[in-house]
C-alpha cells in the first residue's frame, strides 16, 4: 500500500482538508486516515453509506439516478464524492462504491467492480477497477488504490 504518512504530510503542507463517502470499503479508508495523530487537523469526516437507502438518505443521492445507472457506477461514485464534499465542506472528497464479492449485492454489477471518485478543488475524476480476489483482498486492494490515486493527485 502507498505510504499514507507521505500523503498525510502533503495534505498538511498544502493545508487541505478531506472527507470520504464509503460504501464497499465499510469505513476502512477513514480508519486508515484517523490512525495518524492529529488527523482532525485535516480530516473533516466520513460516512459509510453501505446501503442504497443510506446513499439516498445521508448523501441525498437521487433515487432515480440510482435506478438509471445502478448503485455501482461512475455516475453514482461522482454523485457521492460531490455530496460528501458539500456535507463536510472539504477541499478534497473521496467516494467509493463497488461490488467486492462474494456475490453481486445489486444483481447488476460484476463481482470485483469498484468505482472511485475524487473531487479535488471541484475537479472530479472517476476511475474503474476490476478486482478478482476474495472479498477481503478486494477491499484491501480498493483502499490501496484510493491512496495511490490521492497521492498522484497531490503530486500535481
Give DSSP secondary structure letters for 59-92: H---HHHHHHH-SSSHHHHHHHHHHHHHHHT-SE
pLDDT of 35? 94
pTM: 0.94
Structure confidence at residue 101 as a pLDDT band (50, 70, 90): confident
Better pLDDT: 59 or 155: 59
pLDDT tens for each residue of 36-53: 999 999 999 999 999 999
For residue 108, pLDDT beyond 70: no
Amino acid at each position: 500500500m502507498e505510504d499514507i504518512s507521505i500523503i498525510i504530510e502533503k495534505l498538511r503542507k498544502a493545508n487541505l482538508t478531506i472527507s470520504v463517502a464509503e460504501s464497499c470499503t465499510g469505513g476502512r479508508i477513514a480508519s486508515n486516515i484517523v490512525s495518524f495523530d492529529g488527523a482532525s487537523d485535516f480530516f473533516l469526516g466520513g460516512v459509510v453509506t453501505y446501503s442504497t437507502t443510506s446513499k439516498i438518505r445521508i448523501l441525498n443521492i437521487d433515487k432515480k439516478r440510482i435506478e438509471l445507472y445502478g448503485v455501482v457506477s461512475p455516475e453514482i461514485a461522482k454523485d457521492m464524492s460531490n455530496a460528501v464534499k458539500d456535507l463536510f465542506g472539504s477541499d478534497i472528497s473521496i467516494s467509493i462504491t463497488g461490488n467486492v464479492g462474494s456475490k453481486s449485492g445489486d444483481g447488476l454489477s460484476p463481482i470485483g467492480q469498484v468505482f472511485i471518485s475524487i473531487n479535488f478543488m471541484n475537479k472530479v475524476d472517476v476511475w474503474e477497477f476490476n478486482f478478482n480476489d476474495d472479498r477481503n483482498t478486494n477491499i484491501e486492494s480498493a483502499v490501496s488504490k484510493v491512496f495511490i490515486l490521492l497521492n498522484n493527485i497531490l503530486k500535481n
